[in-house]
Amino acid sequence: MITRTARLPLAIQLLLRFRNPLLLLLVAASIVLGFTGDVASMAIILLVLLASVTLDFVQEHRANRAVERLQATIAATVSVRRDAAMRSLSIADIVAGDVVALQAGDVVPADGRVLEATGLVVDESALTGESFPVEKATHAGPERFRTGWFVESMATQVLVVFVIRTRRNSLASRPHPLLAATSIAVVALALALPYLPFADLLGFVPLPLPFLAMLLALVAVYLVLAQYARRAFLRWTAKRYAPRHALRVT
């Protein structure tokens, strides 16, 4: 986000005006005239330079004050979700971690990552010089990939126990209460962990509902395939290692 720098004292700002090489050259020439005995010319040159710099400084200072007063009357505000509530805040009050809601015609107040967007285009001509608006879309960052991989892995590794724990139909057989309670607790913790306050310490981010629904669908497909693979394996082992009896005809 663009922030205003601290303003220097007026005396220092006035002295910094003399950094102009042309002004320094005129000051040096006037000093030389003074050493040659032409004190009147030196005084006239220095007075003209001082008056010119002072007039230019006063005019610019008044213009800057007028711009500041105008900006104060039309301070830009944005809609920010903070503490689970939407509120209107000044751009200067935005901090890292705020979720900004933008609508058509709004100004992007700071650098950030697009979480959800529908047909979002941004005018970046002031930054890049590009005359056409640039389309923005939601991209799954490394944090979302890491979070989704963790949730999916925990869910599949725990729930697959229900598939391979018995030779009978896993849906018809009743699991041990301790196994069922432990598995449900682990899956619930994996689903809730990205939404806890300390999730950012682990590198996790909250998952959007469509993304979470896709992960649960993948887990369901994985469990169905594991169920069919278990049945096929049991049938193959039953045929291969079934006892064989041979009778000798006499």
In a domain, 84, yes or no: yes
In a domain, 151, yes or no: yes
Lowest mean pLDDT among 121-130, 160-169, 176-185: 160-169
Q: What percent of the chain has pLDDT over 70?
A: 85
pLDDT of 10 higher than 60: yes
Q: Specify the CATH number for the domain of residue 108.
A: 2.70.150.10
- Give the SS3 label for residue 53: helix
Task: Say whether both 162 and 229 belong to one domain.
Answer: yes
Residue 229 vs residues 17, 183, 235, 239: alpha-carbon distances, Å:
82, 22, 10, 16
Cβ atoms of 195 and 206 within 8 Å: the answer is yes
| Helix (H) or strand (E) run with residue 90 in it | strand 85-90
Task: Say whether both 84 and 68 belong to one domain.
Answer: no
Residue 204, Cβ density class (10 Å: 0-12 exposed, 13-18 middle, ≥19 buried):
buried
How many other CB atoms are found less than 10 A from the CB of residue 98?
16
- In this prediction, residues 197-226 reach a mean pLDDT of 82
Task: Say whether both 121 and 207 belong to one domain.
Answer: no
Task: Say whether both 146 and 233 belong to one domain.
Answer: yes
Task: Tell me which residue range forms the domain holding 69.
Answer: 10-73
62 or 84, which is more confident: 62
pLDDT of 2 higher than 50: no
Lowest mean pLDDT among 66-70, 142-146, 238-242: 238-242
pTM beyond 0.85: no
The dihedral over CA atoms of 142, 143, 146, 151, expressed in degrees to the nearest 10, equals -150
Residue 69 vs residues 62, 73, 75, 94, 191: alpha-carbon distances, Å:
11, 6, 10, 21, 51
Per the prediction, the chain carries an average pLDDT of 77
| Alpha carbons 163 and 165: distance in angstroms, whole number | 6
58 or 15, which is more confident: 58
Task: Say whether both 44 and 17 belong to one domain.
Answer: yes
In a domain, 68, yes or no: yes
Task: Say whether both 19 and 46 belong to one domain.
Answer: yes
Task: Using alpha carbons, select from 46, 52, 61, 59 the residue that is nearest to residue 11.
Answer: 61
> pLDDT value at position 182?
82
| Alpha carbons 51 and 57: distance in angstroms, whole number | 10
Task: Say whether both 169 and 187 belong to one domain.
Answer: yes
| Helix (H) or strand (E) run with residue 122 in it | strand 120-122
> pLDDT value at position 246?
53
In a domain, 42, yes or no: yes
* Last residue of one domain, picked from the residues 40, 73, 106: 73
Task: Say whether both 29 and 82 belong to one domain.
Answer: no
Task: Say whether both 146 and 234 belong to one domain.
Answer: yes
230 or 188, which is more confident: 188
Residue 177 vs residues 162, 172, 180, 189: alpha-carbon distances, Å:
12, 15, 5, 18
> pLDDT value at position 181?
83
> pLDDT value at position 244?
59
Cβ atoms of 78 and 94 within 8 Å: the answer is yes
pLDDT of 208 higher than 50: yes
Task: Say whether both 132 and 62 belong to one domain.
Answer: no
pLDDT tens for 166-185 read 666 666 677 778 877 888 88
Which residue bears the tokens 């830009």?
Answer: 76
- Per DSSP, 78 falls in state E
Task: Using alpha carbons, select from 105, 111, 121 the residue that is nearest to residue 91.
Answer: 111
Per-residue pLDDT band at 53 (split at 50, 70, 90): confident
pLDDT of 68 higher than 60: yes
- Please tell me the total count of domains within the chain: 3
Lowest mean pLDDT among 67-71, 215-219, 242-246: 242-246
* Last residue of one domain, picked from the residues 136, 167, 182: 136
Task: Say whether both 202 and 224 belong to one domain.
Answer: yes
In a domain, 175, yes or no: yes
> pLDDT value at position 144?
77
pLDDT of 134 higher than 80: no
pLDDT of 94 higher than 80: no
In a domain, 15, yes or no: yes
* Last residue of one domain, picked from the residues 21, 44, 73: 73
In a domain, 191, yes or no: yes
